Structure formats: C-alpha cells, structure tokens
Structure 1
Amino acid sequence: MDSPEVTFTLAYLVFAVCFVFTPNEFHAAGLTVQNLLSGWLGSEDAAFVPFHLRRTAATLLCHSLLPLGYYVGVCLAASEKRFHSPAWRLFLLLAVTLPAVACILIYYWSRDRWARHPLARTLALYALPQSGWQAVASSINTEFRRIDKFATGAPGARVIVTDVWVMKVTTYRVHVAQQQDVHLTVTESRQHELSPDSNLPVQLLTIRVASANPAVQAFDIRSWRPA
C-alpha cells in the first residue's frame, strides 16, 4: 500500500493542476479563484477593469500559496515522518518565498490606486493627455456591459471584442488593444479532421494581434473555421 506521503502527493498534484487550469468540473463545483473570492472581486459585468485588476492579483497570490499548502498538508498527512532534510528545507524556503514575492508584487501593483498594474499601464498608453488610465477603463467598462460584444474561448484564454477594443483574458493578465490600431497576422494554421462541435474538418488558426503602438504588447488569439 502506498505511504500517506505518496498518496497525499498524488492527490495534491491533481488538485493543484486542476485549480490552476480549472477544468469544467472545478468550475461547476465553484473551485475557482473568481468564485471563492467573489465577494472581494465584485462583478465583471458591473466593472470589468477593476474586477480583473483584483482577479489577476488574487490569482497570482492563490497560486503562489500552493507549494506552501503542499508542505503543510504533507506534514500533517505523514506526521510520523520528519521533514528536516536539506531538500525539504530548500522546498520550504521556496514555498515561503513565492507568496512573499507575490505579496510584494501585488503591493507594488496596488499603489496609486492600481496605476502600476500591467493592465492599468497598458490602458494609460491609450489615455488622452488631459486624462488618465481610469478614463479608458471607464470606457471599457461601459462597452463590456453592452449586449452586442463578442466573447468566446475558455476561461483561461477568453477573447472579447467590443466596438473599440480587442481583449484577451488569461489567468494572470488581460491583453488590450484598440481595434483601429491593430494589425492581424495569421501565424499558424493547423488542420483537424474533426471539430469539437461537429464531424466536419476544421482549421485552427493562431492570429497575432499587434498594435501600431510598439509599447503595447502583442498577443495571440485562436480561432476555428471550416476547412
């Protein structure tokens, strides 16, 4: 029979992978950062930008705590063992360092009302001289509340298109580009015999979204189309 340490390690590994990549079963059970911290995060529909400022910070912190959670859990699961070897001490140091670094980074982001967050810094590139990134954020919030927006993709790689903006929401970041400034380039095309939703052959296209402003980071989106 497997030892408690091995059993817990395998179980925790499955949990950690599912918690980070959140399959449908975890979404249905509410085991996501968005659901567990919904009271603090607020509503995406009501305030898209503030929601994702907090969500990316909370996700980074929660994921950074996973190694420490494993160390505490394995110590409890195999309490008869002594985890004092150099390897375990190094792991504990790493497990404590990760959330400490995450907290420092989140504190830096949150200064000046989140003005140093990567999303806020990107929005500031589109702000008029007499305004700030908050004005751009307010415009995005308003557009996201409209029913005519287009949204598709998995939660960890969601693509949202409004009248003015093209956005990609990932686990740790939100990429934003203004439609009138972007250049779309197909960088990869893959042929698949069957699509996820039908029995017809399809192509999976990887499209590079690059802004005319070199300070705005380019990002990739994926799209299915009939072959």
Structure 2
Amino acid sequence: MDRPETTFTLAYVVFALCFVFTPNEFRSAGLTVQHIFSQWLGSEDMGFVQHHVRRSALTALLHCCLPLGYYLGMCVAAPDQDLLRVHRAARGWQLYLGWSLSVLLVGCVLVFVWSRRGWENHPICKALGAHALLRSSWRAVASSINTEFRRIDKFSSGCPSARVIVTDSWVMKVSTYSLHIALQQDCHLTVTGSTQHSLSPELNAPLQILTISVASINPRVQPFHIRLKSTEYAELQEKLHAPIRNAANVVIHLTMSELFLETFKTYVKMNAVYECPSGQVSTGRFTRSSRISMIHLVNVCRNVAL
C-alpha cells in the first residue's frame, strides 16, 4: 500500500495543476477564484475592469499560497516527519518551508504595491493608462470599457482564463493574471496560423482554432494574440470596424460542413494506395457518371461466428 505522504503529494499536485489551469470539471463544481470569492470581486457586468483588477491580484496571491499549502498538508499527512516543529524537521523540509514562505511574502508585497493609490500600480491599470487622453487617467478608460461591456451586442468567446471580448471600441483578451486591451481604431488584426483538431471533446466534432495577432499603432500598447474557433470568425468580423488580414494565407473553415470535409479528406489520404492487379479493370460501378472510378472499396471485416 502506498505511503500517506506519497498519496497526498500526488493528490496535491493534481489539485494545484487543476487550480492553476482550471479544467471544465472544476468550473462546473464552482472551484474557481471568481466563484469562491464572488462577493469580494464584485459583479463583472457592473464593473468589468475593477472586477478583473481584483481577480488577477487575488489569483496571483492564492497561487503563491500553494507551496505553503503543500507543507501544511504534509504536516497532517506525514506526522512522523515532525514538520510542525521546524527546528526538528529534515534540512530539505526546512529549506522548502523557507522557499514557500518567501514565495508567499513576494506575492503579498506585490499585491500590496499594486493596491496602492487605488490600484494605480496594477498592470491592468497601467495598460489602461496607455489609452488615456491628456489630463485624463486610466479610470476614464475603465469607465468607457465598463459601459460598453454591459451592452448585449459585444462579442465574447473562450473560457474565463483565456476569453476574447470585442466591444464597439475595444479588443480585449482576459488571461489569468492580466487583461490585454487595444483600441479598435488603432489596431490591426492578422491571422497568423491555425491548428486543426479532428475531434473536439466539447463539441464531439472537428475543430479549427485560429491564432490572430492584435497589434496597435500606439507604441505604449504591447501586441498580443487571441485564439478562437473558425466558426466564430464571421461573427468577430462583423464586430470589427476594419477587416482582418490573412498574412499566412490560412484556409478558414467557417462552417461545420467545411470542417467535416477537410477532416474526411485528411483521413482518406491516410489510407493505403490500392494496387490494381494486372488484368483487372475497374467497372466504375460506384460512380454516377460514365467515368472510371478512382476509388476501390476493400472489405476488411471478418465473419464472426455467433
């Protein structure tokens, strides 16, 4: 039988990975920062920017607590290690405790610095300041974004940790620790690549994911990338004021039918080439025209006695 500390270590590693890279099962169970601390974070619809400023700070702080949480859990899972009495613990555990406390201390100091002067030092607020007019501040930009986010005609796609939002004036990408923002009239969107998935676990159908670069002419705005399904490409275009450039000449499948045909062709190409024996003539019986068929169906099923 496995030792308790080994079982706890494996369980904690899985929990930590799921907490940082939240899967759908954790979201369904409500084990997310947004759900657990919803009262303190406030409503995203009422204050979009303020919500994500607090969410990103709290997320960073909680992630910094994970190493210390493992040590405290091991105090219970492995009482023979005597980890509660630090001076009697093994040298390796003492070093780990010091490192985990340092990580937590850095996280606390970082969040404290961010929160000074009404969160003015937060990276999201600094990013908003790049769009502020003269004699204005990031709060004016935040007010504009909050107002447009409350409208029902915005474009939104993706999971909460990698969501793409497009309003009348803004292109935004929500990530775990930050919020990337670009003004529509100042940015250029370019399709830079795509990935093809033969089967999506969520849709149970073929899936094409597009990678789009968002670059602003404002030198203070850092470029970023967004990812979305090809079937959402047309809806995104309708919300943008300027067309999306396709610099990589990516073939975009806008419908599920196009995705199915592309996936079907891919699997057909994987089949072995049929070598027609000498003297055999194709009758073309599987075609509706008079042309000779270029396909030969081979029965690979075996008769099974019931």
TM-score class, shorter-chain normalisation, is over 0.9
The within-5 A match list for 1:1-227 is 1-83=1-83, 84-195=89-200, 197=203, 199-200=205-206, 202-225=207-230, 226=253, 227=259
- CA-CA distance at 1:86 after TM superposition: 2.4
- CA-CA distance at 1:198 after TM superposition: 5.7
Please identify the structure whose Cα radius of gyration is greater.
2
- CA-CA distance at 1:102 after TM superposition: 0.8
Unaligned runs of 5+ in 2: 84-88, 231-252, 254-258, 260-306
Unaligned runs of 5+ in 1: none
Flag the structure with higher strand content. 1
1:15-38 CA distances to partner (integer Å, 9 max, x unpaired)?
111111121221122111111111
Two-structure CA RMSD over aligned residues (Å): 1.5
Q: Equivalents in 2 of 1:145, 1:74: separation in Å?
A: 46
1:197-221 CA distances to partner (integer Å, 9 max, x unpaired)?
3645x53221111111122111111
Letter in 2 for 1:112: R
Q: 1:192 to 1:29 in 2, by over 3 A?
A: closer
TM-score by length of 2: 0.71
Q: Equivalents in 1 of 2:192, 2:142: separation in Å?
A: 30
Letter in 2 for 1:13: V
Contact kept in structure 1, 2:169 and 2:183, CA below 8 Å? yes
- Of stretches 204-213 and 82-91 in structure 1, the one that deviates more from structure 2 is 82-91
Letter in 2 for 1:61: L
SS of residue matched to 1:80: helix
Q: Equivalents in 1 of 2:24, 2:194: separation in Å?
A: 27
2:294 corresponds in structure 1 to none
1:80-111 CA distances to partner (integer Å, 9 max, x unpaired)?
22442222122111111111101111111111
Q: Equivalents in 2 of 1:205, 1:136: separation in Å?
A: 29
Larger RCO, structure (CA 8 Å, separation 6 or more): 1
SS of residue matched to 1:159: strand
Aligned length: 226
Contact kept in structure 1, 2:164 and 2:173, CA below 8 Å? yes
Identity %: 58
